[in-house]
């Protein structure tokens, strides 16, 4: 009887373990099945590098280059803002801050991660967008920059908490050795601890970026959603995610537009997959 119980529990856990992989495979197969049909109407090259996105015209123009570049631009901007601040914050928490402040900072960052993205988007819309418009004297504040700033807030908690873990896992002996050799605190952090934790920090950055690429609601609310080839971070852009969210409700099931949106989903899936695999490689290198 005990053996049987053991057996059932073991198998149940096995099913739980396999389930996640199983679901990922199912989702990917479904994406492929629905998305690949679009290449009957448009060639993969024209789909990826076409410059016009007019999905409901006759015939539809399904070029997603502006959307890919829009997503990349917003992500790049968010990375430039969030990486220095995030890593700096992690170093401060892990190495410099005294006990009380450390606790306050950590819970503050956890709180930041708990804000729903639609709330951040709404706050961005009423505060950041007019600010960006006035500072840069732009015709409109709904720009890639506004999106980048808001997304940087979303990437920060991920970057800080994982980078902080990486810094903690640097063996204490490294730090003690450096200090014993007469290095200052800053020299120890910059020359010894950061290089030792570098793969973990890179993984933190990649995971933060992965979060930014997949974010939908906030970017849809504050980047203007104009499917134009972006030529400046101060211009409106339309991202891959916002396109799917805004148009999926309308697309007639089985139309080219519907398939094209699934193909956009494949592109998005591939991008996040690459980002996550890269992060994983860095994490394993560390071990």
Partner 1 sequence: MFKKGLFILVMLMFTASVFAASAKNTIQIKGSDTMVNLSQAWAERYMQENPGDFVAITGGGSGTGISALISGTCDITNASRIIKEKEIALAKQRGINPYEIKVGLDGLAVVVNPDNPVSKLTIDQLAQIFTGKIANWKEAGGVDAKIVLLSREVNSGTHVYFKEHVLRKNDPNSKEEFSPGALMLSSSQAIADEVAGNPAAIGYYGMGYISKKQKPIFVAKDEKSEYEAPTIENVVNGKYPISRPLLLYTNGAPQGLVKKFVDFVLSSEGQDIVLLTDFVPVQK
Q: How far is the CB of 252 from partner 1 (least distance, A)?
A: 5
Question: Degrees (nearest 5) of the Cα angle 145, 147, 149?
Answer: 70
Which residues are bridge partners to 62 per DSSP? 53
Least distance CB 39 / partner 1 (angstroms): 20
CA distance 131 to 81: 17
Q: Give Dmax (Cα) for the chain.
A: 76
- Taking the least distance from each CB to partner 1, the nearer of 54 and 190 is 54
| Nearer of residues 139 and 195 to partner 1, judged by Cβ | 139
Stated as kind and residue range, the H or E segment containing 16 is helix 2-35
Q: Do 149 and 124 meet the contact criterion of CB atoms below 8 Å apart? A: yes
Q: CB of 149: closest distance to partner 1 in angstroms?
A: 18
Nearer residue to partner 1 within complex by CB, 8 or 104: 8
Sequence-distant (6+) residues with CB within 8 A of 94 are 164, 167, 168
Q: For partner 1, which is the closer residue by CB, 57 or 169?
A: 57
Closest CB to partner 1 among residues 94, 138: 138
For Cα atoms 199, 205, 206, give the angle at the middle one, nearest 5 degrees: 90
The residues near 209 (Cβ < 8 Å, ≥ 6 apart) are: 75, 78, 79, 155, 275
Among the listed residues 34, 181, 189, 169, the one whose alpha carbon sits nearest the alpha carbon of residue 97: 189
Please state the closest distance from residue 248 (CB atom) to partner 1, in A: 9
Catalog residues that contact partner 1 under the rule CB under 8 A: 11, 15, 52-57, 66, 130, 133, 139-140, 142, 220, 224-229, 235-236, 238, 246-247, 249-255
- The minimum distance between CB 246 and partner 1, in angstroms, equals 5
Identity of the residue, 82 or 143, whose beta carbon is nearer to partner 1 in the bound complex: 143
């Amino acid at each position: 009887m005990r053996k049987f119980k053991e057996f059932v529990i073991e198998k149940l856990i096995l099913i739980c373990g396999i389930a996640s992989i199983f679901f990922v495979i199912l989702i990917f197969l479904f994406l492929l099945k629905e998305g690949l049909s679009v290449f009957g109407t448009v060639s993969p090259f024209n789909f990826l590098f076409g410059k016009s996105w007019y999905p409901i015209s006759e015939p539809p123009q399904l070029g997603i280059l502006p959307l890919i570049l829009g997503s990349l631009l917003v992500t790049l901007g968010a990375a430039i803002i969030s990486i220095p601040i995030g890593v700096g914050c992690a170093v401060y928490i892990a190495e410099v801050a005294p006990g009380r402040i450390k606790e306050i900072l950590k819970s503050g960052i956890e709180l930041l991660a708990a804000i729903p993205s639609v709330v951040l988007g709404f706050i961005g819309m009423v505060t950041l967008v007019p600010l960006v418009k006035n500072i840069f004297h732009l015709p409109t504040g709904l720009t890639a920059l506004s999106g980048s700033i808001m997304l940087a807030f979303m990437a920060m908690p991920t970057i800080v908490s994982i980078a902080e873990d990486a810094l903690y896992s640097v063996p204490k002996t490294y730090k003690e050795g450096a200090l014993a050799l007469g290095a200052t605190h800053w020299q120890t952090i910059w020359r010894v601890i950061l290089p030792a934790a570098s793969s973990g920090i890179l993984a933190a950055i990649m995971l933060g970026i992965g979060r930014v690429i997949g974010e939908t609601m906030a970017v849809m609310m504050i980047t203007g959603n104009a499917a134009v080839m972006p030529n400046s971070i101060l211009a409106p852009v339309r991202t891959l995610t916002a396109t799917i969210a805004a148009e999926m409700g309308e697309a007639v099931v089985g139309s080219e537009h519907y398939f094209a949106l699934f193909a956009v989903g494949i592109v998005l899936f591939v991008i996040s997959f690459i980002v996550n695999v890269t992060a994983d490689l860095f994490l394993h290198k560390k071990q």
